[in-house]
Amino acid sequence: MRLPRLLPTSLLGQVMLVLALGLFVGQFISAFLLYQASEQRREAALVNAVAFRLVAENAGEERRERLAALRRAGIERPRRADRPFRGGMRIALETAYENPIDADEPRLSDMEQDLEEVLQQQGIPAGEVRITHRAAGEDPFMVDYVSKRRRLQTPGWQRQRVVVAAVERPDQQNWLVTRMRVPAAQEGVLRTIVFQTFVIFVVLFALLYLVVRRLTRPLAQLTARVDDFSRNPDRTVLVKESGPADMRQLISAHNSMEARISALLDEKDVMLGAIGHDLKTPLAALRVRIESVSDKDQRTRMAQSIEDITQTLDDILSLARIGRGNQDLEQVDLAALSASVVEEFEDLGQPVTLGDTPRAVARIQVTWLKRALRNLVSNAVRYGGSANVSLRKDEGVTILAVADEGPGIPEDRIADMLEPFTRGEASRNRSTGGAGLGLTLARAIAEQHGGSLTLTNRAEGGLLAELRIPSAHQAAD
């Protein structure tokens, strides 16, 4: 079972995916930093409010002298709350002779450092500074304070977060403790950051898509033209120059190259036609002249040699013409084509059989594909003693298979056998070895149709040649 393709394969898709991921990561980091800055501002506001209250408390010289007189008189003032604990930034203040923050409580070290700096800047003597946060219901002072004031006993007050800041005052041998409700995060801050991040992402992504699309559109057109030219080199079409300057230069270079290749192919066809004419004419004359040779055996050998040369010349010219023919593609049932080729060999008394051949339609050049199949069957009969032709379908590809029962081919020579003038039999006698162009022609014909030719040794013995041809809908694509 083939898994669905999740990642894009085109240049546009891959570039946009990378850009989208980069923008997403960048915007996520930006949003995180903005949110962190907002939290830092909220924390700074807490520190400033606490520091202001402490500075104001220490500014009252007369008040400090009055409290000192009370202590000298042996009168201890009970703990008190200067202001009610309600509202956003209101502070509760008390004086304690013991540190109200336990050593095992979590400490807000950043706030402690900031508060120490503020106190130092204001010239306020301070020893140790401790800051923590608690739920209001877990703070004894707040529980006692709220229990005496029914108006403060609102639902859920125990869950409100409280910042407790304790500053040691060495000159008075006590601790000044402030309690302040942690203000709720500003409404809509996170929503605003998310919306801003989304808008920036969409705008940048859209702009980048337009830019990348301007680059990839002419590239896609050029790719389609190169693919078409590889299949039909006899048809020259100039691609319109568009896109950035670099892309226009690339398209211009391709147009020049395509025109030159087409001209070279035309020259090659003219040259091959002349060679074929110039060689076949003297060969035909030799075929007439050998009739005057009195020795029958000698005459037969000479005629066979001329026939071998003529056949080799035809194979070479056919190989050179593949891809330049003017024949139109036809919708053909490959099962019927296979049956017709098998019948040709059966009529000649060759041991060729037809196996399973379900109906399979493909757009092909009938003459060329028949020749490819004939070459494969001829090789199977020559080297394997027999041939079995079958057909099967596999994911948009029709496979014409020719199997024999011969010795096969050594694994290290299979690739070489597809090259021109390479043969499995060392003799130059066409009846046993041929010219070594049959498999090369078959491979070239398969590739002309967008397919391929593969050779494999069968486990039960013999060689299997498979001609893979795209099905009709695949070829149309």
Q: What is the DSSP string of 427-462?
A: ---TTTT--S-HHHHHHHHHHHTT-EEEEEE-TTSS
Contact (Cβ atoms closer than 8 angstroms) between residue 372 and residue 442: yes
Concatenating the DSSP letter of every residue in 232-301 gives -TT---PPPP-SSHHHHHHHHHHHHHHHHHHHHHHHHHHHHHHHHHHHHHHHHHHHHHGGG---HHHHHH
- Give per-residue pLDDT as tens, 311-347: 667 766 766 666 554 556 788 899 999 999 999 899 8
Q: Where are the domains of the chain?
A: 11-181, 232-326, 327-476
- Report residue 129 CA to chain centroid gap: 56
User: pLDDT 10s per residue in the chain (477 long)?
Assistant: 444 566 777 777 777 888 788 878 887 887 788 777 777 777 777 777 777 666 666 655 545 554 455 455 444 444 443 344 444 334 566 677 677 777 778 888 778 788 877 777 777 777 788 888 788 788 777 787 778 777 777 787 777 777 888 888 777 777 777 777 776 655 566 677 778 878 888 888 888 888 888 878 888 888 888 888 877 777 778 888 887 888 888 889 988 988 888 888 777 777 777 776 677 777 777 777 787 777 878 878 888 777 767 766 776 676 666 655 455 678 889 999 999 999 989 988 999 999 998 998 888 888 888 888 988 998 899 888 899 999 998 888 899 999 998 888 888 888 777 776 565 554 444 444 455 677 888 888 888 888 899 999 988 888 999 999 987 644 444
What are the φ and ψ backbone dihedral angles of 29, each rounded to 5 degrees? -65, -45
pLDDT at 477: 45
CATH number of 327-476: 3.30.565.10
**In angstroms, rounded to a whole number, what is the distance separating the alpha carbons of residues 314 and 281?**
13
Task: Output the pLDDT for position 400.
Answer: 93
One-letter amino acid at 470 equals P
CA distance 334 to 369: 10
Structure tokens at 13: 């898709």
Question: Which amino acid makes up residue 229?
Answer: F
- Do residues 47 and 112 make contact, with C-beta atoms less than 8 angstroms apart? no
Whether 399 and 393 have beta carbons less than 8 Å apart is answered as yes
**Cα–Cα distance between 298 and 294 in angstroms, integer?**
8
